[in-house]
Structure 1
């Protein structure tokens, strides 16, 4: 470290000592603006000029800032004899951030079905951030918590180890993750567009702001209350999209192998009365009065050949023959195909008849 930097650090340390009777958060707020000013001033000094010549001693400059901010004159700090509170404002805010991030991850897996579930982690985040929003951008009190220090130790492996190299590589991918996160959130918004317009607008707004929040959180720790839950929501949405896609693929595969029952097709219908006698010229209709028409196929009757004009719902239908280039109708045999086993038609009840040979060339009406 050069002489100039040492002078700046020495001057700032003297100011902190002169302000140490104030609450830590107020000292941090004062020093946040002073550090940049003193560092900039040190670059403008002459060859033999010092910071004290410009600003006065650290104690004097600290007293000026204290008076300008409305703080009382310095008093000696009394030794702290009371036990620290277990749940302080910084700890409540830190744990609120951790809990809200976990809840957002779980909520993200169901957000496409019920977007209103995101209100729960949103309320937790707002309340926890409100506890420390006025403590400055660095959030020094939260960074000084024992649990925060422990996490930083876990995330700072020894130099030269594989874990350190892997962590350094992952940190280099942060800009790519910020874009991927915005893409996942945008996909979730698109999937919500047709079902929940408010959910679509909410998730789309998170996607847009997340692009700005990523790099901003590195200098202003208050943005972590947005950036971390946004990442958790993106991961939760990714899990839900994967699960939904897998279900759709499995459903489609089942549909391919599922046999579709085929409906029987009839070309003719034979009706019998209660005595087993074949009925002729029967017209059939459904419950809506529509004719019940079985398929008709006139083999050979094409082109300019006349086709018999037979009502499509008259049964039993005559047989259509094609002979010498002309279509003929042949009356159906009264000895029709056998009926069901329960009511077999009796040959004695049906009047005998012989097949009718081809007759007129004119179509039957």
Structure 2
């Protein structure tokens, strides 16, 4: 009341005119200006004369009726912007925390954890961004050198925003507020994904080129070697060396025994040992190696024996390949049937003696065995006397 008395009549008239204008705000601006033109001076004069102004809303309706205007319709609620809604939400939250001492203490605890939230907000944002960019995952998380650099950069920006820094323009403040809301919503799936990846084992299958020690062929390990000659015969005790004169073995650099082999047809594993010819010399580069099957009962390898190849012989490489066994057999047969110089000399000498001897002596030599033994009728033949020879001639 004292404040109203302290105002001048002109000020009171101006305040009354403002209230009337507010009740007539649904009218067009030019029509409203025309309707209220000179109202302030009239009201000031009335106040100087001691008259009361009355109610502004009723006065506005009287002006509306005097001008022949329709009554004021129901007022439409003003459209609330997103910023106003967000501000109202924050105010309501602040009022709720201020309601009780317990809520005030909880708000203080959360305020002390703001730096943690600043970091978590950046981590969640980096996680979502890298997933949208289809970054490769490691145990469910996009982890790499550049992803760590990107996450660290977001953490620095988030901390500076939390401290009220690096916000030169208002739109950046809006971006920060939107990021806060998005981070709050996405924190739940982020933590759920992290828990799922920690509690559930993951198996990553990585295909790498295996580095096989010893000898390898088309990616598989060579456990034994079988050599064949030009004619296709299996060779035994073949010694192998490389281009530098070093022994070729089926073992790795640090291995002391040859690797085992698996025979699919027998469903059995074999242990390898030295070739029989190289057992005393303990030379692993002599092939084929001996082998011994593992016992199904004891699990130990038996006594090594000659290894049996899958192919005992192969076709000759060409027509010029001569079988060594057939060649050796032909040589031996030729030696038995060939001309013997010593025997030929004996026969020639015998033929000459036969010509000079008598028919009976020649017959006697012809009947004599080659080994010098006396034939059964040798005595009878030698019993012929010269007289008998004469009688026979007569």
Common topology (TM > 0.5)? no
Greater C-alpha Rg: 2
| TM-score, normalization by structure 2 | 0.32
Which structure carries more relative contact order (alpha carbon 8 Å, separation 6+)?
1
